[in-house]
Structure 1
């Protein structure tokens, strides 16, 4: 009886299938998780490109930019580093440039974040109507305003007392975005991943909302 039991192979296929299935499911779910992470990376990259383009042709988020360059010599070139960079971003529902909320153009930020849709002071991403330009949130679903930082830097373009203000270099970057594993976190204990900060830099153009 014992010898017959020891030689019996009944159920071996089921055990083997259980082991192989576990590895197969982990592999498939891993592809799904990492594939979705790669999709988010591509979406975030496209979002910063669109955001930088919108920022270059929209009203500056930093309202103090128009008078930031020196005014002592009208017509003189604006040299690099003529003024300190303006970093504009949200903390919760409060937007500020270099920590000063009074110099923050919320409507201008909204244009970059949600495109030509109606301004609202929240993270909603409205559906676009015909002919409206999309914003960053339309390319990266789930994006929040406090994930975005917009920086205006003096790089030697434009001239002092220019009617539209100096011509800055504009950098839009995403920050504090976390990818959460769905399958592998439960199966294999993977931790959430903070996506590296990504950015896009362009030169300012008309810097007014009527540009296209």
Structure 2
């Protein structure tokens, strides 16, 4: 028969308290740890997206334009703002509107543009492949290459394409899946980077 002193000692016994407290705190600690991992992965993914678009833009300005007509269009004789350009004239920014190329088509809106409704050239795949080296989850359907007038370039340039547009490479509609919420995905912000066209020749950047 257990006496009163024995019951008192049993009531005050705390030998298993640490194990019980550990069992209660373990799920919270794990959630906190996984949350930290997810936060690190999220910011790393953001950095990947930014760097991938920077690399994509760099390749886009030193290789053949994704919209092939830009490389072959001569602006000698073109009328821009009521002025007819002659050999050696600087090409105004308004000579080129917004030419946007996806994996399937290059469209102009607003104009003017040397072409619209045409498929992109092989350089599009080159830009996408280089971006995938940095961020593998980027697909061709995530990439947009855009050309806009910059006010640079000379009509009838004998060595390079006449116009030197602003080139923007954008990665859009990317997602992030956290470990802490299995099956849940969140949309990442669009990434974009803009540079001015340089040589605009070839399929490789050095």
TM-score range, shorter chain: 0.7 to 0.9
Q: How far does the alpha carbon of each residue in 1:73-116 deviate from its partner, in whole angstroms, 9 at most, with x for none? A: 223221112221111113xxxx21117552421x11111122xx
Between the aligned partners of 2:50 and 2:85, the Cα distance in structure 1 is: 40
Answer yes or no: is the 8 Å Cα contact 2:167–2:197 preserved in 1. Answer: yes
Partner of 2:51: 46
2:105 to 92, 96, 103: 96
What TM-score comes out, normalization by structure 2 length?
A: 0.77
Structure 1: give runs of 5+ residues left out of the alignment: 115-134
- Determine if the alignment matches structure 1 residue 142 to structure 2 residue 152: no
Name the counterpart of 2:111: none
Structure 2 stretches of 5 or more lacking a match?
Answer: 79-83, 109-115
Q: Aligned in 2, Cα 1:185/1:68: closer, same or farther, shift over 3 Å?
A: farther
Cα drift, residue 8 of structure 1: 5.5
Q: 1:185 aligns with which of 175, 181, 185?
A: 181
Conservation of the 8 A alpha-carbon contact between 2:138 and 2:171: no
Q: Distance in 2 between matches of 1:162 and 1:151?
A: 22
* Aligned position for 2:199: 206
TM-score by length of structure 1 reads 0.75
Runs of 4+ in structure 1 over 4 Å off: 1-11
Given the alignment, which residue of 5, 11, 25 partners 2:30?
Answer: 25
Q: Paired residues, what number? A: 183
Question: Residue 36 in 1 paired to residue 41 in 2?
Answer: yes
RMSD: 2.6
Shift in CA distance, 101/73, structure 1 to aligned 2, threshold 3 Å: closer
Determine the structure 1 residue equivalent to 2:163.
166
In 2, Cα distance between equivalents of 1:209 and 1:173: 21
Matched, 1:195 2:180: no
